Structure 1
Amino acid sequence: MREVPVDPRAAALAVLAKADSTMMQLTQAVNTLEKEAQPRTVKIGVSSSATVDLLNVYLRKHGLLHGARIDLVAGNYDDPIGDIDLFTQAGVEQIVLLPFFDNLLPSFEAQLGNLDPSIIDAKEAELRQRYRMVFDKARAVPAIYLGTFHRMGSPADAAGQDAVAIVLARFNAALRDEAAAYANVRIIDTEDIVRAVGQGAAFDTRFYFRSKAPYTGVYMNELARRIAAAARGFGAHFYKVLAVDCDNTLWAGVIGEDLLNGIKLGPYDYPGNIFWRMQQEFAALERQGILLALVTKNNPADVDEVLHKHPDMVLKESQLVAKKVNWEDKPSNLRALAKELNVGLDSIVFLDDSSFECEAVRQQLPMVKTVQVPTTLSDYPRVVAEIKSLFLAGGIAADSKDKTEQYRQRAGAEELKAQFDTQEDYLASLELKVELTRNARASAARISELSQKSNQFNLTTRRYSVAEIEQMMEGASHAVYSLVVSDKFGNAGLTGVAVMRYEGQAAIIENFFMSCRVIGRGVETGIWPRIVADAMQRGCTELRAEYVPSAKNAQVADFYNRLGMPAQEETSEGVRRYTIAAADFAAPPNPWIEMTYVE
């Protein structure tokens, strides 16, 4: 019998994916995969007030599962302020901060019942000052993942007052309060990790008392998984759409068989209360800017009846950006949904109760994140919590809300388009208005978020933190132009950004990125006469630009050619560089756009 050769890479990934792999197996698998080139490399600094050496292999594991090599820089023990200097010198892109409650004073949990309140007050003040300094020094770091405090011991206060719980909640509130002032800080709830894995499985007190190493591999694995989720797979994904089935996903039962009064959905009785709760979670996601769509094999009239007539239906028609209610296969409907919304399939999370449907999507559309409703319904809230973390890991800027209405506006524009003979007539009918603003400081968070999200229309795919945006706005060497687009169907919000850098007499387009929702209306070319005029007023005589290819931005490879800029060179990696005299620049005319400029 002929032996089938083993693929070392596939075998190593299988080891990483298994929940019961030993530390030796994990280490060998990580080392095997790190010998290969990875799509991304991310340098992460880890600063902890406990010994967390095990986190090294687990962060590398979860990085590799997302196609990223993780280079770790270890900080000093319990020195977060000094560690920031160390990390800055090392060029880290992300920082993990892990304060440890029991180390705030020696055996702090055991001491709490004996400490004078003034000591606790002083410790809280010290804690606030310390982490305020840390966050301020790390303002320019794109992302900081801050672990909350947790307890090691179990509640055991016979008097009914749990002193540890009271101070723990107070100090965690202090951490969150200080972190709230910094847009680059993400909270990792370590108390929830302890609950999830179990207190007995989370800690090993033998190593804690010997070497201040309290955690087991089980805890470290879950911590690393949550950090990876907060980091959106270390840059691997940015999900925008939650596509959900209906039967046994939004309600218990099959509407076509059980009819309106037969399906189970409501706040009080099992199992309908679980589905009602899940709909509350989905509705909250929609309010925070996530697009909800139905993808279900059903009769449209049956689904509409539930949407409009069931008294306990939480999700409403107005909260759905699209409905694919038919008898087509799920992969085809997901392809159609992506095309309708003009999003990549890799920005969709698909939720279904059927093993058959989930496997079909996994096989035919592996880029879609497919999640199955658990057969044990009591696990459904945990699964939905994991789905929420996929969407909300990076935070939501204010301008990301009302996305459903914005995508509905786009659909209305597409319907109108079919009524006109020429593209110019159609665009003129839209009553397009663009507000171009230079250095809109109040929009820094939205600009940063758009830089993280945009892939297809992004000339260099460079990402910016909020701190970087603010720094460029405040300095003399850069200008950040943002544009807000509206038309007769409504306001699309802040949907485009041009980052300019000035070097002597050269104005350099450092990056230009836009939401795909407004591409093709002339907006992408209509803003440049104003930006170039500003550059000439500064004394610039030359305009330069660069296109850096990525896996997703091929559609803008010739953008600067279309803008009227001649290419000067193209490297072997496909990077294209452009130069034109500022006085010779002339963008294509767009008379259908009403432009407003705000300095």
Structure 2
Amino acid sequence: MKSPLAYNSPAPSLTEIESRIASGAKDLPALKMAILRNITIEPIEPYIKYHAFCSNWKAETLFGQYDNIVQEALETGGIIQPDTDIIWIFQRLEKCSPDLTHHFSSLSKNEIDLEIDRIIALSDTILKGIRCKTAAPILWQAFEPLLFPSAGILDSLSMNGQNTVISRLNTSLKTKLQSFPGCYYVDIPLCLARVGFNQFYDFRYWYLAKAPYTREALSEIANENFKLIRALKGKTKKCLVLDCDNTLWGGVLGEEGISRIKLSEEYPGAPYKNFQREILKLYERGILLCLCSKNNEADIWEVFDRHPDMVLKRNHIVCAEINWENKADNITRLSQRLNIGLDSMVFIDDSLFEIDWIRQALPMVTALHFPVEEAVHASVRLTSAGLFDITVLSEEDKQRSRMIKAEFERKSFQTHFQDIREYLKSLNMTLSIHEADLSTLARISQLTLRTNQFNLTTKRYQENELSNLIEKSGHRIFSASLKDKFGDMGMIGAAIINCTPTEMILDSFLVSCRALGRHIERLFLEILLSHFKGIGFKQAIGRYRPTLKNKQVELFYTDNGFEYRCKNGDENEYVLSLDSFQKKPDEEGLMAINRQWKGA
């Protein structure tokens, strides 16, 4: 489905929001949200629906009663249900602590400390109450600074001024949130700084109805929350595809030559150089960078190699299509070469013609128009979109481009072989199976969130949810890591197994697309089945939930000896007797793969 793709634009009108959502939201999956608040925040609902729609969800929003946060958190029933996906909390400081906002000057240092402790203790009560009901992510909106503190300019000169205390309070709140699994701090002061005071608050409605925010503020707050939600739900983009002329530098290379393109520390080249700096930050976070440019290839690489003000270098680019062909075809080829979905890609171009064409031909790609006359805003537009935001950055994320390039080397090396077994043997692969611990849960969570193709059930798990499965639910979780002569591919697979006295139930089984083509998935499954058979389990249950992207695994269980048993809700269930389980003949060269078992 084609998303509106209106990131970074001014807050849309309510009529525009309703029109866009009405055009296609009814067929989208539901995103159920509960909002606890001590202010009137219902006017944010259209913006929540809009940003949900931009991310291909249909928002279903329930608001708790006004100024009833503690009761909503503690009472049975209420708006927080077992199937709630996200919980938002708006606790405005003026309502929960009149002393810190209206009577600050009369408070002693000890009284201030006691008040901070009281607010944090109240937050602890709320979080504990919610966590007794659900493991759904909690997005807690930070306290805003006072624009006109009680002491005037003296406040900024004091080490214990009013806004310094509010900053301390936010730090304590963030620490408290980090002590609970799946709880996140939303930086509302940052939203205020972006929008600006004059556009952020509507004092008429604050006094009339305790509704403090303008339309612009509500849109920005919703957008900031959805950056987190997309990351938590596995919708973070993986790849940035870039045009070159009037995008990475000013001017047309073929007309102006390398010496006259606009790229320097001074205007008009400075915006382009700073844009490249922001792109490099994405590379350092593991985002794949590609080029898609209508140009002569040698000319483009000359700029990357020789221009003194190029921030991006040839080694930062994982893949490129530089030619005079259709850009939709080129982006499709990039997707195929990288083995990632088109919906994982963001394309930036200065040409509205090219952007509109990509939006029509490849609606799954997020296509962003960066016109040359707005080059000074390019860096801010890229970062403010939040399309690449993540909640955890692993070492493997930082090495993703290197891993992709090593995979290209493997594919080139494979062309020298006609026998797959000889090729696998030549790679000198080692597959290591580890039972999960606290140090690996974050990466396993990433795999469940990001893996779509070879993923039997596509269940998404946050780190805290995986921890709860191990501690409370009798589950065992395993990861698979792979290395070969070309390098260490890191963690490439995961299995979540629900253990009953006699059955191992494969709740989730997934392998990264980076590792496909080596039959690692079969070996991973065989190792797990052999292990559980060896410790006395009698039966293995496999589950497959069809999606638009995992068609290739439809026959995985039957191809590996399981028999179809029944349909269980939206899942197909397969069964294998472990007593009769035997490894299949080595027709795929699996014996050439070294294996290490590091389970419990």
C-alpha distance after superposition, 1:140-186 (max 9, x if no partner): 63423232222464579654543444333333333334444556344
- Cα distance 1:421–1:447, how it changes in 2: closer, same or farther (>3 A)? same
Normalising by structure 1, what TM-score? 0.88
Partners of 1:157 and 1:394 lie apart in 2 by: 38
Q: Look up the equivalent residue of 1:543 and give its one-letter code.
A: A
C-alpha distance after superposition, 1:425-463 (max 9, x if no partner): 111111111110112321111111110111111101111
Q: Look up the equivalent residue of 1:597 and give its one-letter code.
A: W
Specify the alignment match of 2:97 in structure 1: 105
Partner SS for 1:498 = strand
Contact 1:473–1:479 at 8 Å: present in 2 too?
yes
Specify the alignment match of 2:28 in structure 1: 39
C-alpha distance after superposition, 1:10-60 (max 9, x if no partner): 9x999xx9955347x867986x679x8433112212122322122234323
Q: How does 1:405-444 map to 2 (within 5 A)?
A: 405-444=402-441
**Matching residue within 134, 137, 148 for 2:142:** 148
**Matching residue within 452, 455, 460 for 2:457:** 460
Partner SS for 2:575 = strand
Specify the alignment match of 1:391 in structure 2: 388
Specify the alignment match of 2:187 in structure 1: 189
Between the aligned residues of both structures, percent identity stands at 27
Contact 1:435–1:598 at 8 Å: present in 2 too?
yes
Specify the alignment match of 1:281 in structure 2: 278
Partners of 1:464 and 1:549 lie apart in 2 by: 18
Contact 1:142–1:465 at 8 Å: present in 2 too?
no
Normalising by structure 2, what TM-score? 0.88
Partner SS for 1:424 = helix
User: Given the alignment of the two structures, is residue 51 of structure 1 paired with residue 47 of structure 2, yes or no?
Assistant: no
Most deviating of 271-280 and 241-250: 271-280
Specify the alignment match of 2:520 in structure 1: 523
**Matching residue within 355, 367, 370 for 2:367:** 370
Partners of 1:439 and 1:90 lie apart in 2 by: 26
Q: How does 1:464-479 map to 2 (within 5 A)?
A: 464-475=461-472, 477-479=474-476
Partner SS for 1:442 = coil
**Matching residue within 504, 507, 519 for 1:510:** 507
Paired residues in the alignment total 582
Most deviating of 473-482 and 333-342: 473-482
Q: CA deviation at 1:409?
A: 1.1
Q: How does 1:131-530 map to 2 (within 5 A)?
A: 131-132=123-124, 134-135=126-127, 141-151=135-145, 153-154=147-148, 159=153, 161-162=155-156, 163-181=161-179, 184-232=182-230, 235=233, 237-266=235-264, 268-374=265-371, 375-387=373-385, 389-475=386-472, 477-530=474-527
Q: Look up the equivalent residue of 2:90 and give its one-letter code.
A: L
Specify the alignment match of 1:596 in structure 2: 596
Partners of 2:231 and 2:204 lie apart in 1 by: 33
User: Given the alignment of the two structures, is residue 74 of structure 1 paired with residue 63 of structure 2, yes or no?
Assistant: yes
Contact 1:438–1:479 at 8 Å: present in 2 too?
yes
Q: Look up the equivalent residue of 1:60 and give its one-letter code.
A: K
- Cα distance 1:210–1:147, how it changes in 2: closer, same or farther (>3 A)? same
Q: CA deviation at 1:296?
A: 1.3
Show structure 1 runs of 4+ deviating over 6 A: 27-30
Partners of 2:17 and 2:524 lie apart in 1 by: 52
Most deviating of 106-115 and 317-326: 106-115
Root-mean-square deviation (Å) = 3.1
Partners of 1:171 and 1:576 lie apart in 2 by: 50
Q: Look up the equivalent residue of 2:378 and give its one-letter code.
A: Y
Partners of 2:12 and 2:340 lie apart in 1 by: 37
C-alpha distance after superposition, 1:243-298 (max 9, x if no partner): 111222112222333333322223x3112222222212111111111111111122
Partner SS for 1:213 = coil
- Cα distance 1:504–1:81, how it changes in 2: closer, same or farther (>3 A)? farther
Q: CA deviation at 1:234?
A: 8.6
Q: Look up the equivalent residue of 1:488 and give its one-letter code.
A: K
Q: Look up the equivalent residue of 2:578 and give its one-letter code.
A: A
Q: Look up the equivalent residue of 1:594 and give its one-letter code.
A: N
Q: Look up the equivalent residue of 2:260 and give its one-letter code.
A: G
Contact 1:526–1:587 at 8 Å: present in 2 too?
no
**Matching residue within 563, 574, 578 for 2:574:** 578
C-alpha distance after superposition, 1:345-395 (max 9, x if no partner): 1110001111121112112111100011143233223211134x1111444
- Cα distance 1:488–1:529, how it changes in 2: closer, same or farther (>3 A)? same
Partners of 2:303 and 2:180 lie apart in 1 by: 43
Contact 2:5–2:367 at 8 Å: present in 1 too?
no
- Cα distance 1:90–1:144, how it changes in 2: closer, same or farther (>3 A)? same
Contact 2:272–2:375 at 8 Å: present in 1 too?
no
User: Given the alignment of the two structures, is residue 125 of structure 1 paired with residue 122 of structure 2, yes or no?
Assistant: no
Contact 1:253–1:263 at 8 Å: present in 2 too?
yes
Partners of 1:232 and 1:53 lie apart in 2 by: 22
Contact 2:236–2:390 at 8 Å: present in 1 too?
no
Partner SS for 1:314 = coil
Contact 2:84–2:136 at 8 Å: present in 1 too?
no
Q: CA deviation at 1:236?
A: 8.2
Partner SS for 1:323 = strand
Partners of 1:164 and 1:377 lie apart in 2 by: 39
Specify the alignment match of 1:6 in structure 2: none
Most deviating of 440-449 and 525-534: 525-534
Partners of 2:454 and 2:348 lie apart in 1 by: 28
Q: Look up the equivalent residue of 2:118 and give its one-letter code.
A: E
Q: CA deviation at 1:76?
A: 4.7
- Cα distance 1:271–1:179, how it changes in 2: closer, same or farther (>3 A)? farther
Q: How does 1:528-547 map to 2 (within 5 A)?
A: 528-547=525-544
Q: CA deviation at 1:471?
A: 1.8
Which blocks of at least 5 consecutive residues in structure 2 are unaligned? none
